[in-house]
Every structure is written in C-alpha cells, then in structure tokens.
Structure 1
Amino acid sequence: MEDLLLLIHRMPYPPNKGDKIRSYHLLKHLAQHYRVHLGTFVDDADDWQHVPTVQALCASAHFAPLNPTLARVRSLGALLANRSLSLDYYRDAGMRAWTERTMREHGVKRIVVFSSQMAQYADCWPQARRVVDFCDVDSDKWRQYAEQKSWPMNMLYRHEARQLLAYERKVARECDASLFVSQPEAELFRDLAPESAPKIGFFNNGVDTDYFSPARDYASPYAAGERAIVFTGAMDYWPNVDAVQWFAAEVFPQLRARFADARFYIVGARPSSAVQALAQLPGVVVTGTVPDVRPYIAHGAVAVAPLRIARGIQNKVLEAMAMATPVVVSPQALEGIEAIPGQDLVLAPDAAAFAAAVAALLEKSDGALGRSARAKVEQLYSWPSNLARIEARLECA
C-alpha cells in the first residue's frame, strides 16, 4: 500500500454521529486502499473516547486538541489582517509541524483534504496529488448567514463569505481536484470559480442502510398515544436552531390545535439556550444528547426537515428515508437529494404547506412513501460506490 495524508478539520468517528458521517466513511474507505496518516482536530471532549477506533484505521495519526471558545477569539485577528476567520480558527503550529514531518518521513505522494480550512496544511506540497473534499460551499453559507442577521454580525459574516470564497478559489486552482457533496453544490462552485471548472466534481453522501434499517427492533422512546413529529441534528448549529424555532412558532401550533396528542421532538446534542427555551412551549420536547437516534426516527409518525438555510446534502433526511419514516422537507433541505416529491417524501415550501403535509401524515401514515424512500436510498446512496469517485481522482494521471 502507498502512503496517503488525510487532513480533517474535526475528528471523524463511528457513523451514528450525524455531522461526521462523511469524514468517517471517507477514512474507512481510504484505509482499505492506502496507509493513511491522519491529521485532525478534536473540538469536543466527548470525542476523545473514539480516538482508539479512529487510530486503528490509520498508519499514524495526530489528534490536536482545539478549544472552540479560544479558537473563536484567536480567529478575530483575521479581521484586522483581512483574512478568513475560518482559516485562523484552525491555524495550529503543531498540526503544521506534524504534517511536514509526516510528508518527509513517508514520502507521501497523495493528500486528501476534508473541508477547505485544512488545505492550509497542504499548500506547500504541490509535488503531491492533492484532492479536496470541500463538502459544501462554505463561503455561500456565510453569505446566507449575513442575509439573515443584523449589524454587526451581518458585517462579520459578509467579511467571512468574501475572504473564504477567495481562499476556496485559490485552493481549487492549485489542487488537482475539488469535490462537493452533491451535483448542485458542485455547479454552484463552478459558477463561483469558473477558472477551475474542469477540476470540480462531486460524490454523494451515503447511508449505512444496515444500521439505519426499519427491519431492526427498536423500543419506542415515546409515551403511549403520542403522535411524534421528530427533528434530528446537532442543536448548536444555527441552521438547525433556526429551523426548529420556525417550525415551533409557525407550524406546530396549527398542528396542536388539531391534534392534542401531537408532540414535537427536537433530538440532538448540545441544544443551544434558544432551543432549550422551546421546551417551555406546549407539546415541544427537547431531548439533548440521546444514545441512539434510530428509535426516535423509527417510531416517529413524521420526520421533518424545515431548514431555511442549508448547504449540501442533509443526512437527517437520508437517514429518515432509510428508516422508511415519512419525511416532510423544505426546498432547502431537499437540495442535492435525488428524491421525487410525492413519491419518496413530501415537499412543503411554506408554513401552511408544512402544516397540511404533516397533518395528513398524522391522520394516515403513508407506508408507500416510506417504502419508496427506503428503496431510493438503497439505489443511490451507497457509500462504497460514491466514495469510488475520490479514489479515481487520486489515481488519475
């Protein structure tokens, strides 16, 4: 096996943790074909327990602790220097030293970068074949944030959108391939970076359909007689926070007026204070961290993804589809997912449509919708077939 350097901004870990699924499966796939040297940051104390699992997949690994609060403060210096805050957030002398030592000691000829912020550690190795998995167009996410926020945060977000896009374009020009999480995401970046268009592609996320399977036996986490509407995701992530706030304020009251037994379950780690406050509303339940999200999805009457800001593919939608649970999504949450509205899931563009769609499913669950969704995931969202695209880019002459 040949050596490969893999740089990931947040430590990947086993696939029942939503926001790190893609990087974990990428690591597993590459470890089957290369001797992987992994450099990654650990920004959550709970992640340290997964180090042995991740390390077992690697020839060597460097786990750099990162304190999010200190990193945010440190990154503010980028404002004065007219740099991207995201790059300064992940700037670390120890990571750079480890990267340089690993490249020299092992004669590494291939580098995979996961998330543009980590490309700063590969920028001085042009002799290696460098493939970047941007996942999403992060700069456009910051642009969307700026449109939603008021001063002074909108000014900060506009700065980051501008500076990060300039860096993303630089990375795309200098590296051998730039990949994204979906075809729409890749097309967006081609529009933003036309000079690199021939080197821009994508590979879809996948779903472990054995793990997320409706055939498994799950004990219900809900009280008898409840009609559970479920949202899953990291609940300190602002697009998720915005989504559940909107649903709780604009949609759920309409459903509660019609269904006294309806409950809105917000399932996910690290709920922000704004999310915790929603638990004061009638019928809203905020679980915080749960050991396993699958029982909540499996026994939910409806899964909802009412995101108003989104980039890339929403794993929460694919996982609910894999579990054959009926899903109602906003247009933003559907972007990049090859599903047919009305056949595989329900598309709801506004609050009235969301309320009507969820109400219809609460009254009569649509088994055909769930079965079609499961079949679509099995057909299109296999990790091995999708990850083969990054290997092809690495081996291309």
Structure 2
Amino acid sequence: MQILQLCKKFPYPLKDGESIAVTYMAKALHQLGHQVTLLAMNTTKHPVAVNRIRAKLPHYKSVHYTKLDNEVKPLHAFLNLFSSDSYNISRFDNEGFRKKLTSILKKNHFDIVQLESLYLAPYIDIIRGNTDAKIVLRAHNVEHEIWERMSANEPVALRRWYFDYSARKLRKYEIEQLGRVDQLLPISDLDKRKFKKLGYRGSSLAVPIGLDLDAVPFQSVKSNSPLSVSFIGSLDWMPNVEGLNWFLDQVWPHLNVIFPKLKLHIAGRNCPDWLMQLELKNVVVEGEVEDSRKFLNYHA
C-alpha cells in the first residue's frame, strides 16, 4: 500500500515519545512491504535540519516538510477566548502545510493517509477533496484529558479556569473529529475504551509504541551495580513537567527512604532553569541527551 503519514512535528531525532512512536510505526509499515511518504511540520519549537538527517530515514519513500511557527502567543491565546475554536488545534492549522499537502495528494496515489494525532484533523477536508484514500487517526493521547488533568491539579485559580475552558473546547472538537475518520489507532486498549465512551463507533485497533530491540544493546546488570531509575521526555511540554513534579513530590521521598542509594536521572530537551538548578538528594538532571536509547540502557 501507499501510505501518507502526516506529523505535527518532524519525527527525528528520537528524543521523545511521539517521535519514537511515529518512527517505529513507519519502520514497521516499511518492513511489511508498504511505501510510506512523510509530510511533517518543521516547527520553531522543535526545529530540525532536515537535509542533514535524510540519510537516517531510509524507511520513507520520500520526505516533505513545511516550516511552522507554533510558539504560544499570549495575544492569540487571549483572543481565542472569544472564539469557539480550540487554540491548541489552531496553532497547527497552517496555510503552507495545506498547499504542500494538496500538491502531494494531486501528484500521488495513496491508499491511506495517516494523521499522527488529533492536531492534523484540520486537514481532513483537504484530504477528502483530493483523494479517495482512507483516513486513519493515530491517537497518541485522549487529548482533552491532558488539559482536564492540568486543570484539576492547577493551584492558581485563573490558570485553572483557562485550562478547564481549553479542555472543554478541545473535548468538543475531539468528539466531532472521531466521526470523520475511517479508522482509529489508539495507543492503548484503555484509550480505545475511552474513545468508545466518547461515541466512536468505527473500526479501531490499539497499537502500542513499537521498539526496535536490536537497536538497544543488551546490558547485563551486576548485583553490585548502583540502583537507578530514569525519566526522559520533552521538558517544555506541560503534562511531562506536571508528571515529573508529582513524582518528585509524592514518590521520590518514599523511595529515598526505602532505597537510600537509588539515583534518579532526568533527561529531556528544553530543560527549564529551575529544574537544572534542582538540588535534591540523588537526583541528577542531565538535560538534553544525544541518544535516548543509551540513556535508558544505563539508567533504566
């Protein structure tokens, strides 16, 4: 089959869960004999020198991208309060991407167009208007849930209200888009059940993140090796930071008592200053690492 994979950020290097999920899905499809074309947004938040890494993407038949300024802009976020549209979604609705997508669809035949997350849903109309390909939504999260959790855990009243307002608009949009795709690929069975509760009645299959185990060298652990655990994830993404804060506040103090020699290693791109300056016993903040697999192999 001919498959067009659409991504809201360039899925390389493999330094976060989304990039890993997108890349290994594409590799698996390629290994099964399918031809995969990539169209991705090269964002200001996660810029990539695409021409330098094309050789690392042999699983793609061809690679295309457009540039996108997806930085959060306070004025735009404020004005969006008076709109029924979700600001989270509108940040990825881009005219340059529309034109590139239209051009690719007109010049090629595809059996499947795969949307890597809800944030590609603004392009469904263009896809329907230019191809008979089936539209598959690869749902990396139940997106509105993330904002509901942030609202529930936010101590500042104004921010709590804003997160809740954003969650409600995103929930409405997410439910609407479920009825517009031909197939749903959630990341877990739990998410699959949640989407069904939200009203999804179409074909669905839970497809967890795949890993190339051959690319992760086995390392035996000696009984006298120091104990360690690790966290890796983008540290400019609020849900990651929120989860890490919860672990440091609610879990780590107890682990320290039970395992006084245990070390926690924290890695991720765009590490905030407050985290780099964190002084907690046996907590090592490494910031951005070159190789996530090597990091996890040593510290997981």
Q: Which TM-score tier does this pair reach, normalised by the shorter chain?
A: 0.7 to 0.9
- Give 5+ residue unaligned stretches, structure 1: 304-397
The match for 1:346 is none
In the TM superposition, what is the alpha-carbon distance from 1:67 to its structure 2 partner?
A: 3.2
In the TM superposition, what is the alpha-carbon distance from 1:245 to its structure 2 partner?
A: 2.6
In the TM superposition, what whole-angstrom CA distance separates every residue of 1:365-397 from its partner, at most 9, and x where no partner exists? xxxxxxxxxxxxxxxxxxxxxxxxxxxxxxxxx
What TM-score do you get using the length of structure 1 for normalisation? 0.64
- Secondary structure of the 2:48 match is helix
The match for 2:114 is 112
Segment drifting more, 4-13 vs 131-140: 4-13
The structure-2 alpha-carbon separation of the partners of 1:79 and 1:30, relative to structure 1 and needing over 3 Å to count, comes to farther
What TM-score do you get using the length of structure 2 for normalisation? 0.83
In the TM superposition, what whole-angstrom CA distance separates every residue of 1:11-66 from its partner, at most 9, and x where no partner exists? 11254644311111222234454443322112345532564146644444332223
Q: Which has the higher contact order (CA 8 A, sep 6+)?
A: 2
- Secondary structure of the 2:201 match is helix
Matched, 1:199 2:195: no
Q: How many residues align?
A: 292
CA distance in 2, matches of 1:168, 1:45: 24
CA distance in 2, matches of 1:206, 1:63: 24
Which of 81, 91, 96 is equivalent to 1:89? 91
- Give 5+ residue unaligned stretches, structure 2: none
Judge conservation of contact 1:241–1:275 (CA < 8 Å) in 2: no
The match for 2:243 is 243
The equivalences for 1:147-166 within 5 A come to 147-149=152-154, 150-166=156-172
Judge conservation of contact 1:6–1:36 (CA < 8 Å) in 2: yes
CA distance in 2, matches of 1:212, 1:84: 39
Segment drifting more, 116-125 vs 206-215: 206-215
CA distance in 1, matches of 2:164, 2:41: 26
Judge conservation of contact 1:145–1:157 (CA < 8 Å) in 2: yes
In the TM superposition, what is the alpha-carbon distance from 1:181 to its structure 2 partner?
A: 0.3
The match for 1:265 is 265
The match for 2:194 is 188
Judge conservation of contact 1:116–1:132 (CA < 8 Å) in 2: yes
CA distance in 1, matches of 2:27, 2:134: 20
In the TM superposition, what is the alpha-carbon distance from 1:180 to its structure 2 partner?
A: 0.3
The structure-2 alpha-carbon separation of the partners of 1:3 and 1:253, relative to structure 1 and needing over 3 Å to count, comes to closer
Q: Which amino acid aligns with 1:179?
A: L
Q: Which amino acid aligns with 1:129?
A: K
Q: Which amino acid aligns with 1:96?
A: R
Q: Percent identity?
A: 22
CA distance in 1, matches of 2:225, 2:207: 42
In the TM superposition, what whole-angstrom CA distance separates every residue of 1:199-218 from its partner, at most 9, and x where no partner exists? 3332122222222343479x
The match for 1:21 is 20
- Secondary structure of the 2:126 match is coil
The match for 1:233 is 233
Q: Which amino acid aligns with 1:163?
A: K
The match for 2:48 is 47
The match for 1:69 is 71
- Secondary structure of the 1:90 match is coil
CA distance in 2, matches of 1:166, 1:255: 40
In the TM superposition, what whole-angstrom CA distance separates every residue of 1:274-320 from its partner, at most 9, and x where no partner exists? 42242x223322111122344544444xx5xxxxxxxxxxxxxxxxx
Judge conservation of contact 2:9–2:40 (CA < 8 Å) in 1: yes
The match for 2:136 is 131
- Secondary structure of the 1:197 match is coil
The structure-2 alpha-carbon separation of the partners of 1:42 and 1:298, relative to structure 1 and needing over 3 Å to count, comes to same
In the TM superposition, what whole-angstrom CA distance separates every residue of 1:195-241 from its partner, at most 9, and x where no partner exists? x3233332122222222343479xx9xxx985434333222333332
